[in-house]
């Protein structure tokens, strides 16, 4: 780490790495400082646990036809599946496979409930998703499936989801898996970009002519900074500013918490499912609506494994009992579908804990009810030498990896323009 440079980028996730890429292309001196011991942030591919690559964080190229990472994957030889990779998903109601009629009814309920939230949001009524759903009336027993999907998409319970923010997200049917790992793709795109690892930034002192970046490994000064850390890090004060952020900006960071969505990876000693590679399974229990729902990807990369996704407040409560509670829950879901014998064939597990990581703080941003307008505040002028980046600033692609990338490039452009103005 040098003692002075032109631009400091804080955070080496998809946003910070994209900013570094742009700065390097423009020949500007910069440093990327990363708290963790590896770059990538929430884009992280595990190559060891299952014997095949799988993503601990992002995996799907959302809006794949317009997603900049789709083209980059092709350029870097990273394999991507298309929309046909997932067969029709199986739906389990408790331990019973839903019939085709039940599955259709459940899908229709999900559509009706999502439409109710989109309608409220589209009309600018910034109520909670829960309130929008309640206003639409009782949607019947399959509404638990809609709750599960809302929780997976937003990493938050319906009572914590702003209808306006939810409707603002640009959703498409094009969700394509990165077969070699989205985390691996983000690192391939970053290439040999220099990153100083194990270097958390504690404070940005902006009182002087130059910014002073105070880190665990000493301080450096710079002319401008791209701050590409999760909203939760700033809201928790793990990255502070001197003088403090203006109250409305601090409120905006707090209004966009990251929420709870985690993955439970389970490796078995052989095929315990009898299904083809990359099958999908959804689980809800209409008889016990308090029981968390789950979705699973079976046999990722052909491995005898499952990735079980859990999200929302019910799953968070379970995690508070310990990692074992999430593993037991995931095993129960799979055992209900494929038989209890699979429990004795478990070889290895890996449970993510994005919410517990102090320099991440959750899964992805979702505005609290009544606070959707504060997302735009992150883009508004603050200190012209500082530009924020990260998925929360990904505009209609917020919460995604490509939204993070787009925001990182935009933040780099903003500080480059500022440097040019000052020159
Ligand atoms: C379980 C899960 C599944 C997901 N699935 C998808 C998906 O399928 N598709 C998709 O598009 N998106 C998905 N996402 C979201 C996607 O991973 C994120 O939106 C994206 O990776 C965020 O990038 P970022 O650069 O904004 O933030 P991050 O990746 O969080 O990077 C921020 C970096 O800043 C570092 N940092 C924080 N504080 C400091 C500090 N004070 N000093 C120095 N460094 C600091 C952190 O360590 C981190 O490396 C998923 C996320 C999760 C958790």
405 touches ligand 1 (CB under 6 Å):
no
Distance CA 145, CA 293 (A): 7
359 touches ligand 1 (CB under 6 Å):
yes
229 touches ligand 1 (CB under 6 Å):
yes
For 147-257, strand residue ranges (E) read: 176-177, 201-205, 211-215, 218-227, 240-242
Flag whether 332 is in a domain: yes
| 149 shares its domain with 112 | yes
Which among 128, 110, 86 is positioned nearest to 284, based on CA atoms? 110
What is the bridge-based pairing of β-strands 218-227 and 4-10? parallel
Q: Are 81 and 74 in contact (CB under 8 A)?
A: no
Number of structural domains in the chain: 2
The rounded Å distance from CA 195 to ligand 1 centre is 16
Flag whether 58 is in a domain: yes
For 48, the 3-state DSSP assignment is coil
| 312 shares its domain with 411 | no
How many C-beta neighbours within 10 Å does residue 267 have?
A: 19
Length of the chain: 423
- The atom number, within ligand 1, closest to the CA of 389 reads 26
The rounded Å distance from CA 101 to ligand 1 centre is 39
364 touches ligand 1 (CB under 6 Å):
yes
Instruction: Evaluate the CA torsion angle 9, 183, 155, 37 in order and state its sign.
Output: negative
Flag whether 253 is in a domain: yes
pLDDT at 234: 98
Which among 187, 119, 241 is positioned nearest to 401, based on CA atoms? 187
The rounded Å distance from CA 408 to ligand 1 centre is 12
pLDDT at 24: 98
| Alpha carbon 117 to its chain's center | 21
Distance CA 148, CA 157 (A): 9
Q: What string of pLDDT tens digits covers the 423 residues of the chain?
A: 779 999 999 999 999 999 999 999 999 999 999 999 999 999 999 999 999 999 999 999 999 999 999 999 999 999 999 766 665 689 999 999 999 999 999 999 999 999 999 999 999 999 999 999 999 988 888 999 999 999 999 999 999 999 999 999 999 989 999 999 999 999 999 999 999 999 999 999 999 999 999 999 999 999 999 999 999 999 999 999 999 999 999 999 999 999 999 999 999 999 999 988 888 999 999 898 888 899 999 999 999 999 999 999 999 999 999 999 999 999 999 999 999 999 999 999 999 999 999 999 999 999 999 999 999 999 998 999 999 999 999 999 999 999 999 999 999 999 999 999 987
201 touches ligand 1 (CB under 6 Å):
yes
Pocket test for ligand 1, best of 58, 235, 402 (most atoms within 8 A of CB): 58
Cis upstream peptide for 243 (omega within 30°):
yes
Flag whether 87 is in a domain: yes
For 80-124, strand residue ranges (E) read: 90-93, 96-97
What is the bridge-based pairing of β-strands 201-205 and 211-215? antiparallel
Which among 173, 174, 175, 155 is positioned nearest to 165, based on CA atoms? 155
| 291 shares its domain with 311 | yes
Q: Are 133 and 139 in contact (CB under 8 A)?
A: yes
| 163 shares its domain with 288 | yes
Flag whether 361 is in a domain: no
Using the 3D structure, point to which of 338, 356, 374 is the last residue of a domain.
Answer: 356
| 296 shares its domain with 379 | no
CATH assignment of the domain containing 417:
3.50.50.60
The CA-based angle 71-178-339, given to 5 degrees, is 160
| 231 shares its domain with 379 | yes
Pocket test for ligand 1, best of 12, 33, 57, 365 (most atoms within 8 A of CB): 57
CATH assignment of the domain containing 306:
3.90.660.10
Residue nearest to atom 34 of ligand 1 (CA): 11
How many C-beta neighbours within 10 Å does residue 250 have?
A: 16
pLDDT at 146: 95
Burial class of residue 147 (count of CB atoms within 10 Å of its CB; 0-12, 13-18, 19+): buried
Using the 3D structure, point to which of 356, 380, 402 is the last residue of a domain.
Answer: 356
Distance CA 66, CA 69 (A): 9
Q: Are 211 and 205 in contact (CB under 8 A)?
A: yes
What is the bridge-based pairing of β-strands 30-33 and 4-10? parallel
| 198 shares its domain with 220 | yes
| 34 shares its domain with 98 | no
20 touches ligand 1 (CB under 6 Å):
no
SS3 content of the chain, % helix, strand, coil (to 5): 40, 20, 40
Pocket test for ligand 1, best of 16, 22, 41 (most atoms within 8 A of CB): 41
Using the 3D structure, point to which of 329, 356, 383 is the last residue of a domain.
Answer: 356
- The atom number, within ligand 1, closest to the CA of 33 reads 43
| 186 shares its domain with 38 | yes
404 touches ligand 1 (CB under 6 Å):
yes
| 55 shares its domain with 87 | no
pLDDT at 152: 97
Task: Give strand pairing partners of 9.
Answer: 32, 226
The rounded Å distance from CA 18 to ligand 1 centre is 13
Flag whether 307 is in a domain: yes
Residue nearest to atom 14 of ligand 1 (CA): 58
Q: How far is CA 28 from CA 42, 211, 416, in A?
A: 26, 16, 8
- The atom number, within ligand 1, closest to the CA of 405 reads 25
Flag whether 386 is in a domain: yes
Flag whether 8 is in a domain: yes
pLDDT at 88: 62
Range of the domain at 114: 83-176+259-356
How many C-beta neighbours within 10 Å does residue 185 have?
A: 28
DSSP secondary structure code for residue 178 in this structure: B
pLDDT at 86: 62
Residue 379 contacts by C-beta under 8 Å, 6 or more apart in sequence?
388, 393
| 344 shares its domain with 265 | yes
| 352 shares its domain with 269 | yes
203 touches ligand 1 (CB under 6 Å):
no
pLDDT at 82: 77
């Amino acid at each position: 780490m040098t003692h002075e440079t032109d631009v400091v980028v804080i955070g080496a996730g998809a946003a910070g790495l994209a900013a570094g890429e742009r700065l390097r292309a423009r020949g500007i001196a910069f440093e990327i400082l990363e708290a963790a011991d590896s770059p990538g942030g929430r884009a992280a591919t595990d190559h060891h646990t299952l014997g095949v690559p799988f993503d601990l964080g992002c995996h799907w190229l959302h809006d794949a036809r317009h997603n900049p990472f789709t083209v980059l994957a092709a350029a870097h030889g990273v394999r991507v599946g298309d929309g046909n990779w997932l067969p029709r998903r199986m739906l389990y109601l408790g331990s019973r496979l839903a019939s085709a009629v039940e599955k259709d009814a459940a899908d229709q309920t999900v559509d009706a409930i999502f439409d109710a939230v989109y309608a409220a949001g589209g009309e600018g009524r910034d109520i909670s998703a829960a309130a929008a759903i309640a206003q639409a009336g009782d949607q019947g027993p399959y509404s638990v499936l809609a709750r599960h999907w809302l929780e997976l998409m937003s990493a938050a319970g319906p009572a914590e989801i702003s209808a306006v923010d939810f409707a603002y997200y640009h959703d498409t049917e094009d969700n394509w898996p990165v077969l070699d790992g989205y985390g691996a793709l983000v690192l391939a795109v970053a290439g040999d970009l220099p990153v100083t690892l194990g270097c958390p930034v504690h404070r940005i002192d902006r009182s002087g002519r130059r910014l002073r970046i105070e880190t665990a490994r000493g301080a450096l000064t710079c002319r401008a900074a791209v701050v590409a850390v999760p909203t939760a890090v700033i809201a928790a004060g793990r990255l502070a500013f001197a003088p403090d952020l203006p109250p409305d900006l601090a409120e905006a960071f707090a209004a966009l918490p990251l929420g709870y969505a985690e993955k439970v990876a389970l490796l078995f000693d052989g095929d315990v499912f009898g299904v083809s590679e990359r099958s999908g399974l959804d689980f809800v229990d209409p008889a016990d609506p308090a029981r968390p729902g789950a979705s699973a990807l079976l046999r990722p990369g052909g491995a005898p494994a499952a990735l079980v996704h859990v999200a929302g407040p019910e799953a968070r409560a379970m995690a508070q009992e310990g990692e074992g509670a999430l593993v037991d829950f995931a095993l129960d879901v799979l055992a209900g579908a494929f038989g209890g014998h699979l429990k004795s064939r478990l070889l290895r597990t890996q449970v993510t804990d994005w919410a517990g990581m102090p320099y991440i703080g959750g899964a992805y941003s979702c505005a609290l009810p009544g606070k959707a307008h504060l997302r735009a505040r992150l883009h508004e002028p603050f200190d012209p030498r500082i530009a924020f980046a990260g998925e929360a600033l990904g505009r209609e692609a917020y919460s995604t990896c490509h939204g993070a990338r787009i925001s990182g490039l935009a933040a780099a452009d903003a500080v480059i323009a500022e440097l040019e103005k000052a020159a």
